[in-house]
């Protein structure tokens, strides 16, 4: 799922590449790389009665992705920052709606500038397309099913130790998403590092895994880290702690 700066440079002129900048809109307007468009986290979530950040409905996704020039022939490249899990949550959204040609740039804007990419304030207008979703329900879980099957999953909490100690889902294990974040300009630690991280936490690749955090954003980063490490059976609880607590479900 990760592409390098060199890959982006070599493919920047490809008409089948759609580059999406996941940073806050004001940062995008201040300066972005050529051909990129803004797609922020608030555009791909909707709030439930408890304030949980759930995946947006299918009709809105069709309209949104089509307006960005995305169809099944396009490769989507997401640009973000390592400590901001927005890019990961948006990547998970693309995967949930069946767009397998989804990549993250394994670098941030500052690294792009250091490697010769110039920032612009000019808008890029894509050709309109028709996005066709193919929902992958295997990578998402809702509270009703989770509460009835807690013992069948390895539940990973991507929050901080302080948040975990304040209350967590039953049987969950703490693995802060920051444990797998890189601090050298890349988004994530390498595959070997992540494999060791999860192995040391006794996470088997045969397990059915559920990731959660407070709103589902940091958990999306942990979800992608597990994928990079070679784990296949991973789900995101996008409602996460806010939804669970709002429904007054049991905590430890």
If you write DSSP's letter for every residue of 21-56 in order, what string do you get?
Answer: E-S-HHHHHH-EETTEEE--GGGSEEE-TT--EEEP
Residue pair 234/212 in contact (Cβ under 8 Å)? The answer is no
- What is the longest distance spanned by two Cα atoms in the chain? 53
Q: Environment class of residue 43 by beta-carbon count within 10 Å: exposed (0-12), middle (13-18) or buried (19+)?
A: middle
Spatial CA neighbour of 143 closest among 233, 249, 251: 249
DSSP 179: G
Q: Alpha-carbon distance 119 to 34, whole Å?
A: 7
Domains of the chain and any CATH numbers: 2-135 (3.40.250.10), 138-246 (3.40.250.10)
In tens digits, the chain (252 residues) has pLDDT values of 899 999 999 999 999 999 999 999 999 999 999 999 999 999 999 999 999 999 999 999 999 999 999 999 999 999 998 789 999 999 999 999 999 999 999 998 888 988 999 999 999 999 989 999 999 999 999 999 999 999 999 999 999 999 999 999 999 999 999 999 988 878 999 999 999 999 999 999 999 999 999 999 999 999 999 999 999 999 999 999 999 999 999 999
DSSP 100: -
In a 3-state reduction of DSSP, which class is residue 170? coil
Strand-pairing partners, residue 33, are: 119
């Amino acid at each position: 799922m990760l592409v390098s700066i060199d890959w982006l440079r070599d493919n920047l002129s490809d008409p089948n590449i759609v580059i999406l900048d996941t940073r806050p809109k004001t940062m995008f307007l201040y300066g972005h790389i050529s051909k990129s468009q803004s797609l922020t986290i608030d555009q791909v979530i909707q709030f439930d009665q408890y304030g949980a950040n759930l995946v947006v409905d299918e009709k809105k996704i069709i309209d949104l992705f089509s307006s960005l020039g995305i169809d099944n022939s396009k490769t989507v490249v997401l640009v973000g920052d390592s400590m901001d899990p927005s890019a990961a949550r948006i990547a998970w959204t693309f995967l949930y709606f069946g767009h397998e040609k989804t990549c993250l740039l394994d670098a941030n804007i500052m690294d792009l500038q250091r490697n010769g990419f110039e920032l612009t304030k000019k808008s890029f207008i894509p050709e309109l397309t028709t996005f066709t979703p193919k929902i992958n329900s295997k990578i998402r879980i809702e509270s009703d099913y989770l509460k009835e099957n807690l013992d069948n999953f390895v539940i990973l909490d991507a929050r901080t130790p302080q948040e975990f100690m304040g209350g967590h889902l039953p049987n969950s294990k703490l693995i802060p998403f920051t444990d797998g974040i890189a601090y050298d300009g890349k988004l994530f630690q390498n595959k070997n590092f992540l494999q060791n991280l999860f192995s040391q936490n006794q996470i088997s690749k045969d397990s059915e895994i559920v990731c959660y955090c407070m709103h589902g954003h940091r958990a999306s980063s942990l979800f992608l880290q597990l994928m990079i490490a070679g784990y296949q059976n991973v789900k995101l609880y996008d409602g996460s702690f806010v939804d669970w607590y709002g429904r007054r479900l049991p905590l430890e």
